[in-house]
Structure 1
Amino acid sequence: MKHETAPPPAPREPVQIRWERRTQRPLLALAVAFAVAYAVPIVRPGASATTTGACTAVEWFVWGAFAVDYGVRLALAEHRGPFVRTHWLDLCAVVLPMIQPLRLLRLVSTLLLVGRRARMASQIKLTTYVVGAVVGLLMFGSLAVLSVERESPDGNIRTLGDAVWWSFTTMTTVGYGDHAPTTGLGRILAVGLMLSGIALLGVVTANIAAWFIARFEKDDAEERRQTAAIEALTAEVVALRAQVDTLSGALAAAPAPRRAKAAEGDRPGGEPPVSAPRV
């Protein structure tokens, strides 16, 4: 009795990849909580000390979760040196608030980590990521510049509406000039938004161009496939025609009795032809 061999087991997924897949959604939820905690004290400057302290605690808790996530991924990595070199953005985002614990730096670091984790998800398309980055930069840029410029004596960005309008015109590099930052940190934010807007616009343009190119290449490949199939079919027809011509020539060159015998053999059962009855 012949025994069938069992198929080899599928390769096991690395522990690091499983960790990243399982922690992706919880970390994104924590990032949303971070955004809310960051926005509340800015939108409501007269909030109580308890509310402000709770928001600050949430910010540091979320940031600690991202730091722990980086540490776990580093510990689970098979080769830690290449992991640190290829994930240098994550490392900078983790170390940055420890060097200068400012709320703005924690905000930038969280945005970097959220973007990094979003790019790791294969099911998230590039267009979705770009849209999310635009919305995130627009919202956080507005909140950050409002928190910096609202207390400035010469500032003209006093409300959330002014901040959103300024962020939108800055990201699109329009720059009407009706609202502009007057502090050094506000101008640094403006430069960051300008560069981010240009980069995102380039990504969108490149994505659209790549889509058209891929579409044209797909159509060309389908056309080449059909052309090759037609050429192969034509070659087969020509070969069959040549064989038929060869057989016809050989049959015409054969003697008459052989031709009659061949014609007789073509009938079913090899029976001789039935002659017509005489009248």
Structure 2
Amino acid sequence: MTKSKGNDSGKHKLFVMSKAFRAKIFNMVSVGVIDEPINRFYDVISIIALLLNLFCAFAVTFDNMMERYGKLLLVIEAITTFFFAVDYVLRLITANELYPKETEKGAIVRYVFSFTGLIDLLSFLPYYLPVFFPAGTAVFRMFRIARILRLFRINSYYDQMNVITEILSRKKQQLMASVFIILILMMGSSLCMYSVEHEAQPEVFQNAFSGIWWSASTLLTVGYGDIYPVTTLGKILGIFIAFLGVGMVAIPTGIISAGFVEQYQRLKSIGDFTEEENIHFIRVKLSAGDRWTGKKIVDLGLPKDVMIVAIQRVKETIIPRGDTVLNPGDLIVMCAEKTKDVQPVEIKEIVINEGHSWNGTAIRDIDISRQSFIFMVRRNGKAMVPKGGLTIKAGDTVLLYGKHVQNENV
């Protein structure tokens, strides 16, 4: 009986160790996690490998480059592609860390069929497929263009580059509507041009869909000139459609441009508001055992510079008054004016995972700055007093209070 318990304990320790090791790998392959040197090193290596691979993909298309550096370029391509394969395997192993609510198999399946998972797979798989299917070499080489899409991963390093993503997400309905209008005009202009030009150019405008290429190049203001009207009525119609195309192309361009202006104005107004008004907001969710639960706002005894501006109750937003009673589950939004004479402080919230260096460490043994203090630990939704003997565990949320010392006399 004792031996069985010992085996179970050993298996549990092995499982915890393997989970912690997997969490460390996940932190390493995740873009932007730079809490340890190896994570920063992996990010740098990933970017270098991607840029070298893309350089080789373009360089091999030049005959003089292939003649002089062909072997070197092919070796670099092979090494960097192998790195992509290893990176994909590591992401498969740590898929459960990316989707913690899924099962082990469910997380792997979700990653494999996600957009990033497909890009990661196509970045290396077509390189090795010609070994097994030599006849499809040309087709497989075409799929290597997916490596370029890995450049979007660099987007995670720069917040400024996320602006375009946010704009496309915000304006997707307007953009889809404009594209739909362009498609309708394209079909209509193709049908009109067929009716006018079919008798004069039966080999060019054979049917209603023959003018799709012409209508697309005309409406999108490209105008290749390989297909064009020869009749007087067709030329007049072509001029009208060309003018119409200028306006149609300007619609999505204007939507995106307006989105950029709105986004930057929004960011600027947020920055100006926080700098000029010095107002800070905080959200607090009440539980049944909180002291404020069941009390009126007027009876809370809030400081004069602090006020409750809104209460989120289930799906209803309440503008509070003094006689409003707070209920369990209410999400309270409070605002406070920043005191200018007080030394600036910074509050950080750190979520501890299995691979974090603080996991399994007592608070007294954590090496943090003398100007930083742990004032709360949340575990399973409960706030805990951060005593020195309290051991930090995976899943905990640690809140730190830090001072920005600008003029410190030693």
**TM superposition score normalised by structure 1:** 0.37
- Of structures 1 and 2, the larger Rg is shown by 1
Between Structure 1 and Structure 2, which shows a larger proportion of helix residues?
1
Between Structure 1 and Structure 2, which shows a larger proportion of strand residues?
2
**TM superposition score normalised by structure 2:** 0.26
